[in-house]
Amino acid sequence: MRKFLVTCALVLFAALAANPAAADPVEDILTGFASSKYDDIEKSIDALAASGDAAAPAILDALSAGDLQVSSDKKLYIKGDDGSLKEARSGADATGEIPPGLKAVKVNNRVRRAIDAAMGQLTLLSPDPAKRLSAAASQFHAPDPAQLPAVESAIAKESDPAVKRAFEQARAAIILVKSDAPDADKIAAIGLLAARGDEDAKSLLDAATASGSPAVADAARGALKGIERSLAWWSAAQNVYYGLSLGSVLLLAAIGLAITFGVMGVINMAHGEMVMLGAYTTYVVQQAVMVAAPGLTDYALVLAVPAAFLVSGAAGIAIERSIIRFLYGRPLETLLATFGLSLVLQQAMRSIFGPTNLQVDNPSWMSGSMDLGGLAITYNRFWIILFAVAIFALLTLVLRKTALGLQMRAVTQNRRMAASMGIRTGWVDSLTFGLGSGVAGIAGVALSQIDNVSPNLGQSYIIDSFMVVVFGGVGNLWGTLVGAMSLGVANKLLEPVAGAVLGKIVVLVLLVLFIQRRPRGLFPVKGRAVES
């Protein structure tokens, strides 16, 4: 009896060992590829994908590349680029002689489509969460009712909450396009999509409003309204973000102007060229770092900030000493002389660096963006906002807490009295002009990150900077801050309504009208000044 049992077991074992394919469903599926009918091949592809076998992606890849070979005993091999053969299932090198009757598995367009769908399904089960996420997203964007079981089984297996949510949304999208899904399921799916609330969800819901069932269509319409409202808010918020970023650029460009104008009553038309000098300094520093220490290229920008401040500041002091000093008390003549200077500086840069735009690279920590709800926060603009705020704070500190700041404020308020108290007003003028120009140079560093570095760089910002200063009120940094931010935000909020150019015109006209009402700006300096 015992002997019989052992024999039976042995026979059974031998049978299993002799024909392992019979026990392994995947091997069964693979034999389907030996068929010469496209129908069979397609079925095998679907079955292979459903099995989720580890070797499946490699096999499907080889199939679509035409490298999958089948021998006359229905064994599959993958041909490598160098002509070597590997067993398809195990990936091991094929030993011994070349299997007889080896030929490539046939592929046509229908088979290729089946491969693509199968690959999508396979990535749903991929061990890499990022791959699963992107598979879920591709299902969401192009929902295919045939994939519903695959997605559902993926949901059941999923443990990562973020990926699971993405799968559920993909499932909702599929249910919504699946014509025979029950209404209750569809309404639940609409709820899920409404919670997602972005443009993609909107277009799916848009399609669902045409649904035959009134309950579903109503639910879709309701959800759509909610999404539109929240999208409108997000897009307004996005515009405010763009506005703040434009405003901080304007702030950087205008703040130096505000200082020189406020303290000295001098409009420096070459201020835009100080910005331009800063941008060109950034370019030169970046090139130099690239040559001297290629590993530090990402930090060239940090080095460029003090360099630009020094270059533009020195240029500013030189201008003050050589030209503006002789024109005090004649603001209109100063305006003309500095305009001439701006022409000279532009042409000088054109002669040295050429008239074309120069490429200043964004360092890696400034490229890309992050999503905050429905907001896309681009890093370069985000850094510029932070940078502008930091510079503003620093300047406020300089003006409030240093001896130079005290003297500058004294000269602003009453030049003659300050001179009588022993302040060297000429010296204060020079340093003020240097400081204002240096800050303009720093603005150039920031601008080089979002705009073209060309000889005309300063020109495109100078009129807006004037507007900021005039709007905010002279001699008042807070006025400049409020002026810059409100101009930036107003510009960007008007843009979608009126178009970029018309929006800008509207802002300019409003400003001109505003100046009529308040000729000294938002925050005029109070004092006994009678008239200019």
Partner 1 sequence: MSAMRTYSVAVVILGGALAVALLSLLPAEHALHVPGYVVALLGKYLCYALLALSVDLVWGYVGILSLGHGAFFAIGGYAMGMYLMRQIGARGVYGNATLPDFMVFLNWQELPWYWGGFNHFGFALLVMALAPGLLAFVFGYLAFRSRVTGVYLSIITQALTYALMLAFFRNDMGFGGNNGLTDFKDFLGFSLQSDATRAGLLVASAALLSLFYVVCRMLVGARFGKVLVAIRDAESRARFLGYRVERYKVAVFVFSAVMAGLAGALYVPQVGIINPGEFAPANSIEAVIWVAVGGRGTLVGAIIGAILVNLGKTIFTGALPELWLFALGGLFILVTLFLPKGVVGLWDRIMARRVPAPPLVAAPVRQPEAGE
Interface with partner 1 (CB under 8 A): 261, 264-265, 267, 323, 326-337, 339-348, 350-351, 412-416, 425, 463, 466-467, 470, 474-475, 501-502, 504-505, 508-509, 511-513, 515-517, 519-520, 524-525, 527-532
Dihedral of alpha carbons 519, 240, 447, 402, sign: positive
DSSP annotation of 499 reads -
Distances (CA, A) of 307 to 78, 282, 311, 360, 451: 60, 8, 6, 15, 19
What are the tokens at 244?
């703040």
Task: Spell out the long-range contacts of 381-384 with Cβ–Cβ below 8 A and sequence spacing 24 or more.
Answer: 381/241, 381/242, 381/245, 381/450, 382/245, 383/449, 384/245, 384/248, 384/249, 384/252, 384/446, 384/449, 384/450
Conformation bin of residue 225: beta by default, left when phi > 0, alpha when psi is -120 to 50: alpha
For residue 486, the minimal CB distance to partner 1 (Å) is: 16
**Nearest distance from C-beta of residue 527 to partner 1, angstroms:** 5
DSSP secondary structure string for all residues of 142-198: S--GGGHHHHHHHHHH---HHHHHHHHHHHHHHHHH-TTS-HHHHHHHHHHHHHH-S
Closer to partner 1 by CB, 282 or 342: give it: 342
Burial class (CB in 10 A: 0-12, 13-18, 19+), 461: buried
Closest CA to 256 of 497, 447, 28, 503: 447
The nearest distance, CB 254 to partner 1, in angstroms, is 12
The strand pairing partners of 87, in sequence order, are 77
Instruction: Name the residue nearer to partner 1 (CB basis): 167 or 466.
Output: 466
Which residue, 33 or 523, is less far from partner 1 as judged by CB? 523
Identity of the residue, 166 or 467, whose beta carbon is nearer to partner 1 in the bound complex:
467
Task: Supply the DSSP symbol for 105.
Answer: P
Provide the minimum distance between the beta carbon of 485 and partner 1 in the complex, in angstroms, as a whole number: 19
Distance CA 440, CA 218 (A): 57
Which residue spans within 40-128 are E strands per DSSP?
Answer: 68-70, 76-79, 85-87, 103-104
The structure tokens 């972005």 sit at 198
Nearest residue (CB) to partner 1, 57 versus 265? 265
Given the complex with partner 1, which of 91 and 527 has the nearer CB atom? 527
By beta-carbon proximity to partner 1, the closer residue of 267 and 446 is 267
Helices then strands, counting H and E runs in the chain, come out as: 22, 6
Q: Which is nearer to partner 1, 52 or 265 (CB)?
A: 265
E strand or H helix that includes residue 376: strand 375-378
**In angstroms, what is the minimal distance from the CB of 356 to partner 1?**
14
Q: Of the candidates 522, 492, 255, which has an alpha carbon nearest to the alpha carbon of residue 390?
A: 255
Shortest distance, CB of residue 498 to partner 1, whole angstroms? Answer: 11
Pick the closest to residue 482 from 236, 247, 245, 241 (CA basis): 247
Question: The tokens of 352 are what?
Answer: 């040295």
Q: How far is the CB of 248 from partner 1 (least distance, A)?
A: 21
Please, what is the minimum distance in Å from the beta carbon of residue 268 to partner 1?
11
Residue type, 448: S
Choice between 336 and 397, CB closer to partner 1: 336
Residues listed for the chain: 532
Shortest distance, CB of residue 129 to partner 1, whole angstroms? Answer: 50
CB of 411 to partner 1, least distance (A): 9
Residue placing its CB nearer to partner 1 in the complex, 54 or 348: 348
Minimum CB separation of residue 166 from partner 1 in Å reads 44
Q: 329 by DSSP, 3-state: which?
A: coil
CB-nearer residue toward partner 1: 340 or 368? 340
Q: Which two tokens stand for residue 109?
A: 């367009």
Provide the minimum distance between the beta carbon of 263 and partner 1 in the complex, in angstroms, as a whole number.
10
Residue 86, token pair as written in the block: 């590997």
Provide, rounded to whole angstroms, the least separation between the CB of residue 469 and partner 1: 8
Closest CB 388 distance from partner 1, rounded Å: 23
Give the residue with the Cβ less far from partner 1, 217 or 327. Answer: 327
**Which of 49, 177, 74 has its CA nearest to residue 125?**
49
Query: Which residue, 17 or 513, has its beta carbon nearer to partner 1?
Result: 513
Residue 99 phi/psi, 5-degree rounding, is -60, 145
H or E element that contains 260: helix 214-264
Q: Which amino acid is at 423?
A: I
**With respect to partner 1, which residue has the nearer C-beta, 3 or 517?**
517
